[in-house]
């Protein structure tokens, strides 16, 4: 994913670059220290993503966005929370308040990377509800791994950890199952128990309060059975 940093603060460039270096498939195209510099670059070259500051000299971030006829995906990075609503009206994909952690940065990048690079001008609500996410990053120990969403069979909460079960392997991460569920397309996964989320397409059969997925048997909680029946109907 080709990205551009547009920010008048050098420290902001450094932080974003360091974060992106920890993720595969992120390629820096140019460091721009004002919006006019970015505008000149985009007149000749294309990028997939812009990390954009709002309060910059000469041309403000949102004014810069309004000039672009077909803007790439945008993640706003700013110290000003009061402009968040205007940002979403301009179809930015996420709004990061400085200083932001790597975990928060990763969630924003996951949201962007779930879309094909050709998708333009999609509101954040449409992104969450209508687009099938292809890949997400998951933290395992001190590293981050990228997984194909379509290969996940089910997810199981295990104390302070969560197991992600695939056909041929299982990985364990230190993250809440509810947080992982938010990163997954709602039309493809369903929570069937307080400790289990399953991929609907991999359900082989349901016997009473048990779901069979390949060689795995997963319990159905009483509170979640109604939602499961609605989907089956």
| Length of the chain counted residue by residue | 233
Quick one: pLDDT at residue 196?
A: 95
Contact 48, 1 (CB under 8 A): yes
The architecture of the domain spanning 134-232 is Beta Barrel (2.40)
Write out pLDDT tens, residues 137-171: 787 777 777 788 889 999 999 888 899 999 889 99
In the chain, domain spans: 2-129, 134-232
102-151 pLDDT, tens per residue? 988 988 898 887 654 443 343 444 344 334 457 787 877 777 777 888 89
- Round to whole Å and give the CA distance between 174 and 159: 9
Q: Which residue has the tokens 């795995």?
A: 216
- Look up the CATH number of domain 2-129: 3.40.50.2300
């Amino acid at each position: 994913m080709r990205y551009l940093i547009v920010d008048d603060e050098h420290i902001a460039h450094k932080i974003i670059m360091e974060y992106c270096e920890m993720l595969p498939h992120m390629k820096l195209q140019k460091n721009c220290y004002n919006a006019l510099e970015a505008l000149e670059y985009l007149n000749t070259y294309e990028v997939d993503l812009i990390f954009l500051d709002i309060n910059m000299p000469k041309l403000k971030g949102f004014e810069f966005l309004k000039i672009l006829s077909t803007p790439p995906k945008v993640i706003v990075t700013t110290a000003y929370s009061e402009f968040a609503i205007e940002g979403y009206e301009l179809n930015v994909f996420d709004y990061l308040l400085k200083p932001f952690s790597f975990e928060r940065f990763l969630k924003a990048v996951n949201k962007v990377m779930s879309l094909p690079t050709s998708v333009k001008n999609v509101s954040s609500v449409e992104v969450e509800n209508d687009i099938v996410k292809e890949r997400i990053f998951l933290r395992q120990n001190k590293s981050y791994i990228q997984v194909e969403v379509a290969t996940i069979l089910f997810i199981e909460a295990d104390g302070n950890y969560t197991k992600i079960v695939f056909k041929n392997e299982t990985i364990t991460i230190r993250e809440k199952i509810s947080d992982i569920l938010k990163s997954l397309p709602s039309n493809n996964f369903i929570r069937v128990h307080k400790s289990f989320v399953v991929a609907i397409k991999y359900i082989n059969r349901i016997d009473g309060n048990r779901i069979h997925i390949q060689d795995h048997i997963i319990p159905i909680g009483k509170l979640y059975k109604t939602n499961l029946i609605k989907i089956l109907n």
